[in-house]
Each structure stands twice: as C-alpha cells, then as structure tokens.
Amino acid sequence: MEPRGVIFDMDGVIIDSGSTHLASWKQLAVENRLEITDRQFWETFGRPSREIIRLRWGADLSDEEVRRLDERKEAIYRELIRGNVPVMPGAVELMRALHADGWRLAIGSSGPPENVRLVVSELGVADLLAATTDASDVRRGKPDPEVFLLAADRMGVAPARCIVIEDAHHGIEAAHRAGMKAVALTSTHPPCQLGDADLVVSRLGDVSPEGLAELLAEG
C-alpha cells in the first residue's frame, strides 16, 4: 500500500498557543513603544512572524530590524512556554494512534525551528515524526503550499496521500493548493471561517485513523 501521511500545523493544533503568542507580541510591542490589539493579533495568527512585523511595524523596515524584532518576539514566546507547553487536548494521543496505524507524521509550522524543536522535545514526540518543516525551510508562508509540499517530500508521501490538520483559513488554503485534504480544528477560529475544509472538528478527540482513512479514500 502507498504510504499515507498526516501533517500537523503546530500552533493551534498540537499546542494551544494563541494566548501565549498574544502575550509575547504585546510584550514586544511595549518594548518598542507600539501596540498590538487582540483583534490585530487574531487576524494574522498563524502567519510567519516576519510578515506580521512588516504589516504592523511598517513595510519600510530594514531586513536587519525585522530579523531583530522577530528573534526577540520568539525568544519571549519560548521563555513563556518552556517547562509548561500548553498541549492541545488529544494531540499526543492522536499522533500516537496514527503512528501505530502506520501513518507517517510531520509538523508543518510557520514558526521558527527553535520553537518546533522545543515543542517536540517537551512533548516527547520525536519518535513519532517522519519529518518537520518550519519557517526557516521555506521562502513563502501559508497560504503558499510550500511548507506542506516540503513536509510530504521529506516524509516520502505523495501530496494526494496526505491530510493536513489546521486551525486557520490560510492553512486550509495552503493544504488544498498542495493537493491535500484539510481537517480544520475550531481552536482559534469559528466554523463559519473554516467551511472550505474537507472536515471541521471541535476537538482532536473527534479525529481517528479510521476517519482519516475514509476521508482520504473519498478522492
């Protein structure tokens, strides 16, 4: 049988990181005498940090200043979650069930590699993963499909045999543009904003290897 793969977005799917990311953005803004509102944060949640910085701080920032702000923001975030990673209920259990059923697993994240390594290490799931991809691996962020296509390639799974689990519209769009099925988790956005997904669930406990196999078989 051709291998099957599941690609997990990290923030909002494996970890319930929204409130911590919001806190880190607000701390960064205060340090730089700016403000980021809750609404502004949620409008861009899941996009690469450097894109958000140019959007909120100004498109004319130098690459060096964008890099400095990005690295500081992510350092704040890691300080906040280290030793207390807010794992999403059912995430590790689902990963273990899929792995036991023969699925190949990957993480396809818009975050930096340091964040992915920290989460993978603290959750103890490295042995379950065939691949990880992050912002350092790609030139274009979601909704571009690059991050998911690279994850599929690293897993050795054809895109048409992959399912992406996402929490945001731009991630669902990226999955579909990659030729993959998309499961939407309503952890950060309401169902009305995720209706283009192939399946919408309110919790990861509603996802099973059998259900994903049926979704994949629908063609």
CA distance 98 to 129: 11
153 annotated active-site: no
CA distance 183 to 169: 11
Which of 151, 75, 149 has the alpha carbon at shortest distance from 118?
75
- Separation of CA 117 from chain center: 13
CA distance 193 to 51: 21
Q: Which two tokens stand for residue 31?
A: 């340090």
CA distance 150 to 181: 16
What is the DSSP code string of 24-91?
HHHHHHHHTT----HHHHHHHTTS-HHHHHHHHH-TT--HHHHHHHHHHHHHHHHHHHTT---BPTTH
9 annotated active-site: yes
CA distance 158 to 3: 8
Catalytic one of 11, 70, 134, 167:
11
Catalytic one of 9, 16, 134, 167:
9
Strand (E) or helix (H) holding 92? helix 91-100
- Separation of CA 172 from chain center: 11
Catalytic residues: 9, 11
